[in-house]
Amino acid sequence: MAGPHDLATWLLEQESRALLSRLDRVKPFALQETMVPAANLLPPAQLAIENYLLDGRRKLRSQVTDLIDWLAGPGRSATPADQQRRFTVIRLAFNTSLAQLDMFSDAITQRSETETGVWLSGLDVAAQDALQLTGRFYDPPPVVCYLDRGLGGAIRRARTRLPGGGENPAAIIRIPRERMIGFGIASSLVHEVGHQAAALLDLVASLRVALQERERQAPPAERTAWQYWARTISEVVADFWALAKVGIASTLGLIAVVSLPRAFVFRMNLDDPHPFPWIRVMVSCAIGDRLYPHIQWRQMASTWEALYPTAGLEQRQRDVIDGLRPTIPAFADLLASHRPANLFGQSLGEVVPEPARAPDALLAQFEHWQERPLELRNASPTLIFAVFGRARITGRMSPEAEERILGRLITHWAVTSTFAPAQRIAAPGISPTVVTPRPAAAVRIA
């Protein structure tokens, strides 16, 4: 009859072989996801994720086989406790590998849903476009989008440490289901992309240093405000990116997210990295006006104040707003004029915004597309978001037209990304009349 030592060795060897059997059942996503071709991940994203997971499985297999060999050789004389310790470490690594597989699976499995999968593929294209800069300032990582419940988006940035170890091979962006069209999707998507871009350029660290220096130079009455801007810069710089890429659509989308009961809009947790909603919208308008000067930003700020007047606030809340508000224009200017090392002497305001995204240029582009709607097929997704946002706020485009046209275009981006560069295929159903005429009623935004 086998003693406890031999039985322990045999049991751990059996469990190790069972791990190998279970590992063999983990298949690449390309062999198990039933999505239409247009819903596929972009090839760089699929390759990056599959290679990362495959490399992890190879390492794990090597660890398990090494353990089995050790148990059959030198490890046979080790104590059962030592054998168990080694096995436990490997089993934890196995569970970590499965957890990482599930993380990517949650984002990829939705690609099998009718229409949703194709739209997510189209949003992948839009996200990659939002990550581009003129000039080789960084190597953009692959981006994968998926849907989830909730009001706000989120991102697990590429090249960051995953739970259990390893470097994330692709940026994973969560989009709220209720934001799946119009300026809502533009704002959420490009804001999250802004977090990735800020990490690639190391903006948060360099801006925080600049803000701390500004705090030291500021009059005593302003120092608390500059401390607050330094604390919230990680979110504000992502808003900056979205404003530079999609213009007023960013602010409109932000307003849609933070239009909550009054108590939430003025809830002030000064340790939160997110600016409280009321001041965040005001900062968004100020940054927009700094990047693309136009009366629309001041009109939008006034409208926000009318929706959420500060009258009736507690004295503490009024003091916070009165302390922050005078510094907002200087804060926007500091952001735009910041020259991080990774931009090689150029400022954010020189590199990220584009003249074609200025409000008057966006309306001119809208009118041009009315005459030549087929050109929409070849336009940059973020430019389309910006044009449609500007057209919406001036009343030149209805929500219904935006939903219909943008839905077709997102499908078009998915289809063309599937077949490019071999050929360009026009998405079915894009009508030659894709924009609506200006309504007869007057609009409030210039």
For residue range 13-60, list pLDDT tens digits in order: 888 887 777 777 766 765 555 666 777 778 788 788 788 777 878 888
Say if strands 154-156 and 143-148 run parallel, antiparallel, or are unpaired.
unpaired
Rg (CA), the chain: 26
Nearest to 241 by CA among 331, 107, 141, 348: 348
Nearest to 234 by CA among 259, 260, 202, 264: 202
Report the number of secondary-structure helices (H) and strands (E) in the chain: 18, 3
Helix (H, G, I), strand (E, B) or coil at 374: helix
Non-local (6+) Cβ contacts of 370 within 8 A are 435, 437
pLDDT at site 395: 92
pLDDT at site 68: 86
Residue with tokens 């000064």: 270
Tell me the β-bridge partners of 174. 146, 154
DSSP-assigned letters across all residues of 19-48: HHHHHHT---GGGT----GGGSPPHHHHHH
Low-confidence residues in the chain, pLDDT < 70: 1-4, 26-27, 29-36, 149-151, 164, 178-183, 419-446
DSSP-assigned letters across all residues of 299-362: HHHHHHHHHS--TT--HHHHHHHHHHGGGHHHHHHHHHH---GGGTT--HHHHS--GGGSHHHH
Helix (H, G, I), strand (E, B) or coil at 147: strand
Residues 287, 304, 176, 129, Cα dihedral to 10°: -30
pLDDT at site 443: 41
Span between the terminal Cα atoms of the chain, in Å: 91
pLDDT digits (tens, 9 = 90+) for 249-259: 999 999 988 99
Q: What is the pTM assigned to this prediction?
A: 0.82
Nearest to 9 by CA among 78, 93, 60: 78
Measured CA distances, 64 to 44, 70, 167 (Å) = 30, 10, 22
Nearest to 314 by CA among 263, 255, 260, 261: 263
CA 347 to chain centre: 23
Non-local (6+) Cβ contacts of 105 within 8 A are 29
Q: Is the Cβ–Cβ distance between 158 and 168 less than 8 Å? A: yes
Measured between alpha carbons, how far is 97 from 101 in angstroms, rounded to an integer? 6
